[in-house]
Amino acid sequence: MAEEMQNAEVRSFEVGDTVQGKVTKVDAKQALVDIGYKTEAILPISEVSSLHIEKVGDVLTEGEEMTFQVIKINEEKDEVLVSKKAVDAIKAWDDLEQKFSEGTVFEAAVADVVKGGLVVDVGVRGFIPASHVERHFVEDFSDYKGKSLSLKVIELDREKNKVILSHRAVLEDEQNKQKHQLFDQLEVGAVLEGTVQRLTDFGAFVDIGGVDGLVHVSELSWERVNKPSDVVSEGDKVKVKILKVDQENERISLSMKEAQPGPWETSLSQLKVGSIVSGTVKRLVSFGAFVEVAPGVEGLVHISQISNRHIGSPGEVLEEGQQVQVKILDINAAEQRISLSIREVEEEKEVKATKKEIANYEADNGGMGITIGDRLGDLAKKLKS
């Protein structure tokens, strides 16, 4: 009679039922679970975890209590097979679907490193593709096993038992959040320190604390720059001034030259009206020539100030890159303009040469009644002819 009652109790189970149980024995390939009936239920190793495990003891210990699902009943042998994995999966899928819909970030430990990425136990088998582990390329993932990562669900398919996770998405969200906070703090005109991240033909991208800004090639230096690598290298620490912030398009325009004293500031104290300085012809235009008299400082030699004789164009006398001596006629600091003359330098040279010639002539013809004025007059007429 007692045996019939026990059998009746066993037969009252149905596949799919959930029961509370206590682990009573742990073997390598299975565990026995007390679910309150005559025979202890069997928990096969394949039903312990959604991930591959070598032995049951890696996951369970004797005395643990938890919920199981009945997956098979053998009435003839009074055997009941239960699954921990099935219960975990039900809870996991409900939890994962909520996390996916809400974009929740959660922590999970890497269970294994496999070809193409990482495996994570999230109640079911979760997979992190290699491209979604970090924002940068990772060559060797061996150090990731056992490491806890913050993750987001990026793809979910319950029917196919597919769970795709991403750590990179979490990092990118954090970066975007920091970027927006930084954009709110940026002020046009502020001077900051940054790090050169990469160079292009048109300029240099500089990291100013979590966001990159562009220093156009024209803003790298007060002097003319042919290519950015002539001025900076990747990794250089540089000072930059914020020229423009476009938060909508996430673009920042920066200037290195504006963060440094300008050539006018450094050169004005050295340039004096009336002085003669050396310079380089930078540009020829129809009305004259622009000559660089200090790094980044150019002055105009009007066509009328190029030569003693009449010329139709500056190119008749000058060429770009030519070294010349010029006299500073005027400095307009407010408008950053300098007026220069090559002609007056040449005239002064001729006057000095004339004076020297007269002095030598008088020394050679002393007492003959010829004065400096007489000789200058003759030379003046000669110059005019």
Domain boundaries, the chain: 2-87, 103-171, 186-259, 264-341, 346-384
pTM: 0.52
At residue 285, φ and ψ (nearest 5 deg) are -125, 170
CATH class held by domain 2-87: mainly beta
Band of residue 75 on the pLDDT scale cut at 50, 70, 90: confident
Q: Name, in order, each residue with C-beta under 8 angstroms of 44's C-beta and a sequence gap of 6 or more.
A: 29, 30, 81
The pLDDT of residue 6 is above 50: no
- Best mean pLDDT range from 1-10, 194-203, 374-383: 194-203
Q: Give the other-Cβ count within 10 Å of 219's Cβ.
A: 21
CATH class held by domain 264-341: mainly beta
Among 153-157, 171-175, 370-374, the least confident range: 370-374
User: Is 70 or 12 the better-scoring residue by pLDDT?
Assistant: 70
Q: How many residues does the chain have?
A: 385
The domain 186-259 belongs to what CATH superfamily? Nucleic acid-binding proteins (2.40.50.140)
**Angle, CA of 94, 96 and 97, to the nearest 5°:** 65
- Do 168 and 201 touch, CB atoms closer than 8 A? no
Domains 186-259 and 264-341 share a fold: yes
- Best mean pLDDT range from 88-92, 165-169, 351-355, 366-370: 165-169
Q: Which residues pair with 192 in a beta bridge?
A: 240
The CATH code that applies to domain 103-171 is: 2.40.50.140
Band of residue 371 on the pLDDT scale cut at 50, 70, 90: low
Per-residue pLDDT, averaged over 80-107, amounts to: 92
Pairing of strands 117-121, 65-74: unpaired
Among 9-18, 248-257, 322-331, the least confident range: 9-18
Q: Which residues pair with 127 in a beta bridge?
A: 119, 164
The pLDDT of residue 105 is above 60: yes
Torsion of CA 356, 359, 365, 367, to 10 degrees: 170
- Do 277 and 326 touch, CB atoms closer than 8 A? yes
Band of residue 177 on the pLDDT scale cut at 50, 70, 90: confident
